Amino acid sequence: MNSPTEMLEREHRFIAMVVGMTPVLAERIESGQSVSPELLRELVDFMRTYADKCHHGKEEELLFPLLVKKGVPIHGCPIGALSAEHVKGRALVKGLAEAIDAFEKTATSAKEEMVKNLRGIAGLYPGHIWKEDYLLFPMTLKVLNADELGSLYQQFEKVDEKIGVNHYQRLEQFAQQIERHLS
């Protein structure tokens, strides 16, 4: 059976590849080395489209409401806490995008803002992914039956189709190659 939680876990691996590079980028910017604004923009695009619209979309618009319908509390742990982290992540990516714009206009505080938001992303996501892989998904497999899991998987596929399968694959390639961009 196609598993919706395995699909989300797989996406976590790609998100972790990109997030894993954020401290490296922060370090480089901080130490005055040049970092291509193009690469930073691609990172923002990955975080907005793949991590947020596609991946968080599947979680927030499909998985969480279904779990709530099955009796999991909407507030507190885990759904309330994870949703709040999505909001935080969105704000950090927005802050990073604004700092990149400001940097291109040579604003003096832009570097600091870029570093702050990159480090924020680096600090937020690993714990978020851990909580989902080891707490949320095992719980999901207990709460939902096989039919519900199957239909969730199909709904997830529709999210990918909306984003465009080619676009989705391009973003995964970006994640796989980001390390090379930096070497």
State the binding string over 38-77 for Fe ion (x if CB under 5 A, else -): ---------------------x------------------
Query: Could you give the angle at the alpha carbon of 113 between the alpha carbons of 108 and 114, nearest 5°?
Result: 105
3-state secondary structure of 108: coil
3-state secondary structure of 169: helix
Number of residues binding to Fe ion, judged by CB under 5 A: 2
- For residue 163, what are the contacts with CB-CB under 8 A and spacing of at least 6? 49, 53, 54
Sequence-ordered alpha helix ranges (H) in 31-109 = 37-45, 57, 64-69, 79-104
Q: Using the minimum distance from each CB to Fe ion, give the nearer residue, 132 or 140.
A: 132
* Cβ 76 to Fe ion shortest distance, Å: 16
Q: Using the minimum distance from each CB to Fe ion, give the nearer residue, 54 or 132.
A: 132
Counted residue by residue, the chain has a size of 183
Contacting Fe ion within 72-131 (CB under 5 A):
none
Q: Is 132 in the site for Fe ion (CB under 5 A)?
A: yes
Q: Are 183 and 22 in contact (CB under 8 A)?
A: no
* Cβ 28 to Fe ion shortest distance, Å: 27
Q: Is 21 in the site for Fe ion (CB under 5 A)?
A: no
Q: For residue 94, how many C-alpha atoms fall within 13 Å in the half-sphere facing its CB? A: 7
Task: Tell me how far apart the alpha carbons of residues 22 and 34 are, in angstroms, rounded to a whole number.
Answer: 14
The residue range among 71-79, 103-111, 132-140, 170-178 that interacts with Fe ion, by the rule CB under 5 A, is: 132-140
* Cβ 67 to Fe ion shortest distance, Å: 13
* Cβ 108 to Fe ion shortest distance, Å: 35
Q: Using the minimum distance from each CB to Fe ion, give the nearer residue, 67 or 99.
A: 67
Give me the residues that bind Fe ion (CB under 5 A), please.
59, 132
